[in-house]
Structure 1
């Protein structure tokens, strides 16, 4: 890391010793991007040594989350002896994990110079860190809450060769970024736009803080659009506020395979159609084919290196043996069709989950290849992070995954922990699963179908945030195909009828499964559980539909939940969304991006006419329309 230029050091020193404010300069570091601003609070603390101690504790926790969980946004809290610290950090999602952590480290090295107040803030183009003694920003950093902090707008110093044309293109492009960013599941987009007359490409990204509400994200992005207009005559422009960040440039700052398809989020476009540039899709497809070829050759040679799977680390088999106590029974977290999952604790107290697949099972190699190929480079707060792999043992293939301390969702619905989830937690789990699926279906360069969404494949973090796991059966869906014809693979009770009966696989199969999981979360009952009411024996979906027809679907709600009238009304609306997701034919089911919006805006649901689902007899796979 190079030393700070003298001018920047002087500016920082003045800031630290006088009053809060922002400075602008450029660190020139590839991991941080341009330096945007540093702010140090003025209010005194109860005990400076104690405050610094708990502040550093939160910084350490943030770093652990960014490094080990592979996330781009992290939060941590600590309190002691009358002082408290609420801290957050965010990286741009085009960074690798290592680049994110390096940017964070640079930020920490500078923000720790703030020693006179209860808050601090440092921002670069590629990351920011903030800490405060109050928790308001921690919950939802609504931009107007910080009246003394004006947004930062930095324009480039090079004028466009054709200012009028460039201005028009960037204006329309930013308008699209403004509208799309709040509608994505992770409040982030990155896209490109051609300037045909100049044969130039404009790169642009928009990102809101992940803890912000959709409404406040939209407010912040609208502010970015209004203020960045002053930069449109220049080839570069950056907007930063406490709630969001926007950057555009005529030179690349992210890879072409890291773009987001934003067309489905724009007004006037059907969210059912994903339009992906043919060149980008072709490049991605070729990369995937090459990756698959490398994987096959690696297995043939029984030799692997760290470069086989970009984005996933190679773990030493002996280290994994030690961390799992030689794969002991007491370390088993769960069992699957091809092997077991173990808890592993390394010398530095880093805890991970180790999925050991038995090679003698015919499907194990396919599951191993799928998980590594599909999710090694996917980072989303609602998708389980693949950390690495190992295949040194002759009998095993091993996946190293992030550890989820609360285990799987099914244990909280009908297992040993039944009845411990309140309504707000259940709703947030439903919403998180929807966002994860929307990311797989609509926010990547190629659509990924999970094929096995079920409650046991939803894992919960220590604060009950859901993460979709087990991508062993996942498939790509080519952009020019509405579905894939393939043999059935999945779990009865969760799988859509058109897939079981005819092998028709599309994103709507995941939508159907998600609808079933909603019903399980709300009812606390298994989808395949038969309930005899004295007149008929119905599975969960069929029972729910019959009650809905009688306007009595409130009876589906788990009896362990003690809901107030407002919560009851909310729960019945979510039940109706589940029924929308399980309709047949598949074409009338919503996309997962639409479901995310439904979960936030009731009026979108009210416009839909519910039709009877196709019911499945899960014992013999018979499919019928019901009475």
Structure 2
């Protein structure tokens, strides 16, 4: 009876379960077990076991006795009926510990299986993604993966505060640009490329493969890229003063550019283009020179940006034929009409840029309610009143230099590619006051028009008439006929694109030309 009384006292203190034993003499031991149901609290457990003790006493002096109450169970026996390695009267909740071990082992195994399955899923997803990237980028993918230029998407995403609109610097035809801060504290510009066309692959290849090795003070430096995320990213040096377009035509919180600053921008842009055309290892054509692609640093030093449309000009070729891409108003006529691309297309765009900088006006050549700036400057040049189109904010004592710069701009926008000077020649004109500037010929798309090429255009719609013209030029004079239908078509295209919010064209203009049935 002493054993079962001790069990009755200990069980409520040990979660309703206790076992023990006592020696009876003559090497005989008595073993006992007391257990309460799991839902019975400690006091009820004790009451139940006390009742069981009074009932089990009727079993004495038998070798075994058992009592089962509603809420508890009590047993004694001279034979050990439980496993317990502890000393007499030292018991524990061993069964529950064993159950806990079994459950812990089971859940650990399930967790391990789940972790392995999750790892396999993400590894497989990453492999599929890499195969897709490899298919899209072709030979460029392994080169980028081994390159120091390749940065993780996650680090660049964090650098821009997850592409927050507060960090957005601007948006162009090929992607959006954000200000970001790398983990080392360096401030950069991160370009987020649109990611779903073959044209995207070409743009990414051009920007990474062509300009990663280019280093010039007037070209924006490419610092890195990422192809590991949902879209591809390009990392450039950060240029603090935004673009020339913002300074000339948008921002009202800055002083107008002084003559020295404008000349510095023109000269630096010319030096950058001369490097691309003639001084770098590869002959590179930018194809999209315009004010929004000329960035200005804290000293207003110009840096040519956005190399997504660049093309290589092979050493053995005088020109290449390609789909039309660029910005209306800055595209050379031979390129806009026939897709014939040479370095002189950049020279033409540079000429438009020079005229805009000097006049302080945007070139809205294809807006019906605006007078083309080229037309306006040419008319004043013929009337010997070039000074009247110079931006009024330019100091009066620099008017002569400004007129000289406008004449250089007119040389660059001549219709004939052969008559346009090279960038190295332009640099000489800009830096040497004694260098004689030739008389320019008339720009294209005017009435009458000059162009240095033959053009045949046919249309399949009733709104356009079939017309052709061949321009011939002598040493000093040029005579030609204009094609008004082409100008009207460009105006219609321009209006439609501006309605849709498009300024820079990739492959889209080529498609529009095919729809309209124009061939060249």
Match of 1:538 in 2: 371
TM-score of the superposed pair, with normalisation by structure 2: 0.58
Structure 2 vs 1, CA of residues 303 and 551 (structure 1 numbering), >3 Å: closer, same or farther?
closer
**Is residue 487 of structure 1 aligned with residue 487 of structure 2?**
no
C-alpha contact (below 8 Å) 1:541/1:615 kept by paired residues: no
**Is residue 564 of structure 1 aligned with residue 399 of structure 2?**
no
CA shift, 1:322, in A, is: 1.2
1:468 aligned to 299, 304, 307, which one? 304
CA–CA distance in 1 between the matches of 2:215 and 2:289? 18
CA–CA distance in 2 between the matches of 1:296 and 1:526? 42
CA–CA distance in 2 between the matches of 1:622 and 1:415? 24
C-alpha contact (below 8 Å) 1:305/1:314 kept by paired residues: no
C-alpha contact (below 8 Å) 1:530/1:540 kept by paired residues: no
CA shift, 1:524, in A, is: 1.5
Match of 2:444 in 1: 614
For structure 1, which segment, 300-309 or 318-327, has the greater mean C-alpha deviation from structure 2 after superposition? 300-309
C-alpha contact (below 8 Å) 1:338/1:358 kept by paired residues: yes
1:498 aligned to 298, 311, 334, which one? 334
Structure 2 vs 1, CA of residues 397 and 573 (structure 1 numbering), >3 Å: closer, same or farther?
same
Match of 1:420 in 2: 256
CA–CA distance in 2 between the matches of 1:296 and 1:449? 27
CA–CA distance in 1 between the matches of 2:143 and 2:407? 50
Match of 2:237 in 1: 402
CA–CA distance in 1 between the matches of 2:240 and 2:197? 28
CA shift, 1:296, in A, is: 5.7
Structure with bigger gyration radius:
2
For structure 1, which segment, 540-549 or 339-348, has the greater mean C-alpha deviation from structure 2 after superposition? 339-348
What SS is found at the alignment partner of 1:555? helix
What SS is found at the alignment partner of 1:615? coil
Match of 1:331 in 2: 167
CA shift, 1:480, in A, is: 1.2
Structure 2 vs 1, CA of residues 530 and 620 (structure 1 numbering), >3 Å: closer, same or farther?
closer
Give runs of aligned pairs for residues 168-567 of structure 1, distance below 5 A. Answer: 299=137, 308-309=146-147, 313-393=149-229, 395-417=230-252, 419-528=255-364, 538-561=371-394, 563-565=395-397, 567=398
Match of 2:423 in 1: 592
For structure 1, which segment, 300-309 or 597-606, has the greater mean C-alpha deviation from structure 2 after superposition? 300-309
What SS is found at the alignment partner of 2:179? strand
CA shift, 1:425, in A, is: 0.4
TM-score of the superposed pair, with normalisation by structure 1: 0.48
Q: What is the aligned residue count? A: 320
Q: Please tell me the root mean square deviation across aligned C-alpha atoms, in Å.
A: 2.5
CA shift, 1:298, in A, is: 8.0
C-alpha contact (below 8 Å) 1:354/1:401 kept by paired residues: yes
C-alpha contact (below 8 Å) 1:598/1:604 kept by paired residues: yes
CA–CA distance in 1 between the matches of 2:150 and 2:325? 29
Structure 2 vs 1, CA of residues 330 and 483 (structure 1 numbering), >3 Å: closer, same or farther?
same
CA–CA distance in 2 between the matches of 1:349 and 1:515? 39
Match of 1:604 in 2: 435
Gaps of 5+ in 1: 1-294
